[in-house]
Amino acid sequence: MIKGVIFDVDETLVYYEGYSLKEWYEKIAKPTMKKLGILIDWETFRKMAKGELPRSYVEEFGIDHVTFWKALDKANRRYREELLNEGKIRTYDDVEAIKELKKLGLKLAAVSNASQDNTELVLKAFNLLDYFDVVYGKDYTYLDGVKPNPYLINKALNTLGLRPDEAILVGDSDLDIIAGKRAGVTVVQIVREKKYEGADYYIQNLWELVDLIKRSRC
C-alpha cells in the first residue's frame, strides 16, 4: 500500500519562465566562476549538472567542490529572488492536488538537486512548504548524492519511516526516473515537456496522480 509520495520540485511543481540551463550558465555560472578564478567550459558544466559527471569532478580544475557549489548556489539564490520578484517563477495549475494527497493521509516529501536554501525559498514563496513532512535539497556533505543518485530519495524514505514499496516518486526528468528506480520506489513521470523511458506510470497532471493512488487503495 502506498503511504507516501516524494516529489521533485523544479519543473514538477514550479516552473521558470524562459529558463534554460545554457542561459543560466552564461548569466549566473560564468560570472561566479570568474570570481573564483576558474572557468569551466559549457559541456563539462552541463555534464556535471545533468549527472553525467559527479559534482566532485570540478576538483579536476583545482578548486574544492563544496566551495564551488556553495558559491553557485549563493548566486542562484539571488537569481531566484529576482525571478520571483518579476513573477517569472510560477506553480503549475495542478499543484492544488497536493492538498488532496494530504487529506488522504499520505506522507509527503520534496527532494531537489537545488540547495536546501533555494528549494525552501521557492516552496515558501507559494505557501507549499508546510504541506511537506520533509524537504531535502542537495547535501553539502555528499554533493555526489544528487539525482540520478538515489541518496536524497533514500534519505527521505528513512526520515518518513517508509519502505521503498510504500512510496511513489513523482518527477519530470530522466534523472528522477533513474534515481527512483535505483531507490526501488514506484516511479511516476509527470510529462511537463518530454516523455522519458523507464517510469512505471505516466501522468499529464497531478490530479491523475490522486486518481492513481485512490485506485491503488481500492
Residue range 83-103: average pLDDT? 97
Q: Which CATH number does the domain housing residue 184 bear?
A: 3.40.50.1000
Task: Say if residue 101 is in the same domain as residue 183.
Answer: yes
Task: Say if residue 119 is in the same domain as residue 142.
Answer: yes
Residue with cell 539571488: 78
Q: Let me know: does 179 contact 138? Beta carbons within 8 Å.
A: no
pTM: 0.95
Domain boundary among 35, 70, 85: 85
Task: Say if residue 118 is in the same domain as residue 59.
Answer: no
Task: Say if residue 145 is in the same domain as residue 195.
Answer: yes
> Shortest CA distance to 13 belongs to which of 125, 153, 104, 107?
125
Task: Say if residue 108 is in the same domain as residue 30.
Answer: no
Q: What is the pLDDT of residues 161-186, one digit of tens each?
A: 999 999 999 999 999 999 999 999 99
Does the structure show a pLDDT above 90 at 216? no
Residue range 15-44: average pLDDT? 95
Q: Which pLDDT band holds residue 36 (cuts at 50, 70, 90)?
A: very high
Task: Say if residue 181 is in the same domain as residue 160.
Answer: yes
Task: Say if residue 72 is in the same domain as residue 108.
Answer: no
Q: Look at the chain and report how many structural domains it folds into.
A: 2
Provide the edge-to-edge strand list for the sheet that holds 201-203.
134-138, 107-115, 4-7, 167-171, 186-190, 201-203
Task: Say if residue 152 is in the same domain as residue 48.
Answer: no
Three cell numbers at 58?
570540478
Say what percent of the chain tops pLDDT 90.
96
Does the structure show a pLDDT above 80 at 217? no
Q: Which pLDDT band holds residue 218 (cuts at 50, 70, 90)?
A: low
Task: Say if residue 8 is in the same domain as residue 29.
Answer: no
Q: Which pLDDT band holds residue 34 (cuts at 50, 70, 90)?
A: very high
- SS3 of 145, please? helix
- Angle, helix 174-183 to helix 151-160, in steps of 10 degrees: 50
Does the structure show a pLDDT above 70 at 195? yes
Report the pLDDT value the prediction gives residue 150, as an integer from 0 to 100.
Answer: 98
